[in-house]
């Protein structure tokens, strides 16, 4: 009895499902030869656990016949004694470096989408879609090869924000600097030599302590303690934007949101600056004042949300191009709007709280699950899923959201795999 008790204790140290003293001839039954790496490994489905015992191979007991039985992490499988990471994930999850992970933020621009995910106790940046200029980073499939598989930008572990332009991407690194990659024909990556695209993220000189970023067609911007700083086709320092909490970029215009106003500068041929003219301005103009909730920029239209002293009829204001109904809640094309125009997106008095603009479409969110999209619908970019929303983004002709379960959904054009595995 004592011998049996000793054997039981030895086996119990390895966990449930153990077999004692297996032999090759007797398989999993007790035998005369103690378990060892050799004897355990010779029996299909067993792994040596040490202490003269073997265990059944599986996700709860996996190892390399080295005396260690380990439990594989969630999502892993045990293959030939090795914990193997997953090769597929549940719908809406991102296949990370070693496990399936959930998204917290999604962004989109052009034909590319990116998400910030929670991975390994920090954040990771993954991108998918067009890669004609290296938007998918150094691990992409090469310039020109789009991919629907999210690819990690490893240099951006710990990033706090990401912005996608027409063919380039920028992110705020964990140290508050900004790194950009992709197309660089106008210097939108911030490096002194323009023209050559870069799949490797490059640090933008003289940008530190960034709190918000934006990427347009051929320019990029960041909010720093000194105001806004832009580089590329639109370049300069804009101290008027000091204290801004958000910055957005269209094709060739930029807007920054302060607590009580919106500032815009750049191209104004469609009235996207909202100051009543169609004259370009290299200095910020103020199209809208009031308690600000959100702002977004499309190709050549702009929308903003007010959060106080307003109701359903005047909380959402849009201006600029309307050739495809992108600033009309009924998607009715019309003339350009040179000043902020009321857009009634919802029928009740509960106010919207987020707005996102693509090339020529706009989506408005009224948390947690009321979405209204209007404008160009030729690629299905208005056919949003029914979901509660934590994060909302609009690209060229597609849109994406992160739902309350941290799962990704994308809809609209998929010409460059910009919907990834998250499409309808």
Per-residue pLDDT reduced to its tens digit, 103-139: 999 999 999 999 999 988 899 999 999 999 999 999 8
Q: What pLDDT is recorded for position 52?
A: 67
Q: What pLDDT is recorded for position 217?
A: 97
CA pair distance 19, 55, nearest whole angstrom: 6
CB contact at 8 A, 75 and 101: no
Q: What pLDDT is recorded for position 51?
A: 65
> pLDDT-based confidence at 64, cuts 50/70/90?
low
> 227 pLDDT exceeds 80?
yes
Q: How many CB atoms lie within 10 A of CB 260?
A: 12
Q: What pLDDT is recorded for position 405?
A: 96
- For 2, the enclosing helix (H) or strand (E) is helix 2-12
Q: Max alpha carbon distance in the chain (Å)?
A: 96
CA pair distance 263, 173, nearest whole angstrom: 26
> 19 pLDDT exceeds 70?
no
Predicted TM-score of the model (pTM): 0.84
Q: What pLDDT is recorded for position 22?
A: 44
Give me the numbers of helices (H) and strands (E) for the chain, helices first please. Answer: 2, 33
Q: What Cα–Cα distance (Å) separates residue 341 from each residue in 24, 153, 418? A: 81, 40, 31
Task: Describe the strand order of the beta sheet including 361-366 as a list of residue ranges.
Answer: 354-357, 361-366, 370-375
Written as six digits, the tokens of 256 are 């920054």
Q: What pLDDT is recorded for position 193?
A: 66
Contacts of 8 (CB under 8 A, 6+ apart): none
> 31 pLDDT exceeds 90?
no
Mean pLDDT of the chain: 88
Q: What pLDDT is recorded for position 191?
A: 84
* Comparison of pLDDT for 44 and 210, the residue scoring more: 210
Chain segment 241-274, per-residue pLDDT in tens = 999 999 999 999 999 999 999 999 999 999 999 9
> pLDDT-based confidence at 34, cuts 50/70/90?
low
Q: What pLDDT is recorded for position 79?
A: 76
Q: What pLDDT is recorded for position 46?
A: 73
Q: What pLDDT is recorded for position 114?
A: 98
For residue 105, report the phi and psi dihedrals to the nearest 5 degrees: -140, 140
Contacts of 272 (CB under 8 A, 6+ apart): 250, 253, 264, 266, 297, 300, 301, 302, 319, 320, 321
Chain segment 287-324, per-residue pLDDT in tens = 999 999 999 999 999 999 999 999 889 999 999 999 99
User: Which structural domains are found in the chain, ordered by start?
Assistant: 2-84 (no CATH), 94-422 (2.130.10.30)
Written as six digits, the tokens of 414 are 């998929």
CB contact at 8 A, 235 and 282: no
Q: What Cα–Cα distance (Å) separates residue 252 from each residue in 154, 234, 273, 305, 333? A: 30, 7, 11, 21, 22
328: left (phi over 0), alpha (psi -120 to 50) or beta: beta
CB contact at 8 A, 95 and 88: yes
SS3 of 285, please? strand
Written as six digits, the tokens of 225 are 């303690």
Residue keyed to tokens 């052009």: 110
Written as six digits, the tokens of 246 are 């958000």
* Comparison of pLDDT for 362 and 20, the residue scoring more: 362
What would the mean pLDDT of 398-409 be, rounded to a whole number? 97
- For 393, the enclosing helix (H) or strand (E) is strand 391-394
The rounded percent of the chain whose pLDDT value lies above 70 is 87
């Amino acid at each position: 009895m004592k011998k049996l008790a000793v054997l039981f204790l030895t086996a119990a140290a390895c966990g449930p499902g153990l077999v004692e003293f297996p032999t090759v001839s007797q398989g999993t039954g007790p035998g005369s030869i103690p378990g060892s790496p050799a004897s355990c490994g010779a029996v299909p489905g067993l792994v040596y656990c040490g202490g003269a015992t073997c265990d059944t191979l599986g996700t709860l007991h996996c190892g390399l016949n080295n005396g260690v039985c380990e439990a594989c992490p969630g999502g892993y499988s045990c293959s030939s004694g090795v914990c193997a990471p997953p090769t597929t994930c549940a719908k809406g999850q991102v296949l990370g470096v070693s496990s399936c992970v959930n998204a917290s933020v999604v962004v989109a621009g052009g034909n590319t989408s990116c998400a910030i995910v929670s991975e390994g106790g920090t954040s990771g940046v993954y991108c998918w879609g067009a890669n004609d200029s290296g938007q998918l980073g150094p691990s992409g499939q090469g310039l020109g090869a789009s991919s629907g598989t999210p690819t990690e930008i490893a240099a951006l572990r710990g990033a706090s924000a990401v912005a996608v332009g027409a063919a380039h991407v920028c992110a705020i690194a964990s140290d508050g600097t900004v790194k950009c990659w992709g197309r660089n024909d106008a210097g939108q990556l911030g490096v002194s030599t323009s023209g050559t695209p870069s799949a490797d993220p490059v640090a933008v000189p003289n940008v530190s302590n960034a709190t918000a970023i934006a990427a347009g067609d051929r320019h990029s911007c960041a909010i720093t303690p000194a105001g806004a700083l832009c580089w590329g086709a639109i370049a300069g320092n804009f101290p008027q934007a000091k204290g801004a909490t958000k910055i957005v970029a269209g094709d060739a215009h930029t807007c920054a949101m302060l607590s009580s106003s919106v500032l815009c500068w750049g191209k104004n041929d469609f009235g996207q600056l909202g100051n009543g003219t169609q004259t370009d301005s290299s200095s910020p103009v103020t199209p809208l004042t009031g308690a600000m909730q959100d702002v977004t920029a499309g190709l050549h239209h702009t929308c903003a949300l007010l959060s106080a002293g307003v109701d359903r009829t005047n909380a959402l204001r849009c201006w600029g191009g309307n050739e495809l109904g992108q600033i009309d809640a009924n998607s009715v094309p019309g003339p350009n709007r040179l000043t902020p125009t009321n857009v009634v997106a919802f029928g009740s008095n509960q106010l919207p709280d987020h707005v996102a603009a693509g090339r020529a479409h706009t989506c408005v969110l009224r948390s947690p699950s009321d979405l209204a999209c209007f404008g160009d619908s030729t690629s299905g970019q208005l056919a949003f899923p029914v979901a509660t929303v934590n994060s909302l983004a609009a690209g060229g002709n597609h849109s994406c959201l992160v739902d309350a379960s941290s799962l990704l959904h994308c809809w609209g054009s998929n010409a460059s795999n910009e919907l990834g595995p998250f499409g309808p």
